[in-house]
Amino acid sequence: RKERIVAAGALLSDTVNAMFGLTSNKPTHLRIGTAWGLDRYTTDILRQALVLISDHELNPSTFAVRVCASTGASISAALLAGLTTLSGPSHGGVAANAHKTIEAEVSGDTAFLIEAKSKPYMHGFGHPIYPAGDVRATCLLDTLGPDTPAVRHVTSIAAKWELRPNIDAALAAFAMTASLPRDAAFLIFAVGRLAGWCAHAIEQLETKELIRPRADFTPI
């Protein structure tokens, strides 16, 4: 197990460096903070975001990692399975939609907001697992503070839609507050989740069990 943990750590480090064009061995949040030119305070909020996003039980990308690892495939192959699944608009793409939704609230783009309201989860609001509110989002938004402009806009949308923001809206609010690149929320999500995927892949490899769901065919 120790060898797998070391290999996973090296893989995670190399992946982060490749994503941000770095050659560093510093802690992940410090590397990204340096790449984005963040101050110490904002870099610490980034660290918090990475921790909050690292694991979320068997979401689609993590399940894909588990399925891949269950075949005995390498950890790198399992992480690739997770990344490709995360790329979907209903998963990792939600953060980008949340960013657009907050911008629409800022600019008063009513048409966009009406359309977005018909699919709120796709725009960072509401969560099937957290009907009372996504605790990860609450934690990050509280850290940013209620008087932060992006947080005020998130709160305004939540009130109008009568839905609480989820982690994607919180990540988008953080990215906007820190003046990060437009794809920053997705990158934070991906990097944070990579760490969790490594743990899932290692655990699945150790079980030596193949994940093979059955289909229940219904005659027509």
Active site residues: 91, 127, 168
Q: What is the rounded CA–CA span in Å between residue 151 and residue 155?
A: 6
Q: How far is CA 6 from CA 11, 46, 112, in A?
A: 9, 24, 47
Report how many helices (DSSP H) and strands (DSSP E) the chain contains, helices first: 11, 0
CA atoms within 13 A on the CB side of 65: 27
Residue with tokens 């839609």: 161
Sequence-distant (≥ 6) Cβ neighbours of residue 199 within 8 angstroms: 8, 55
Which amino acid would we find at residue 45? I
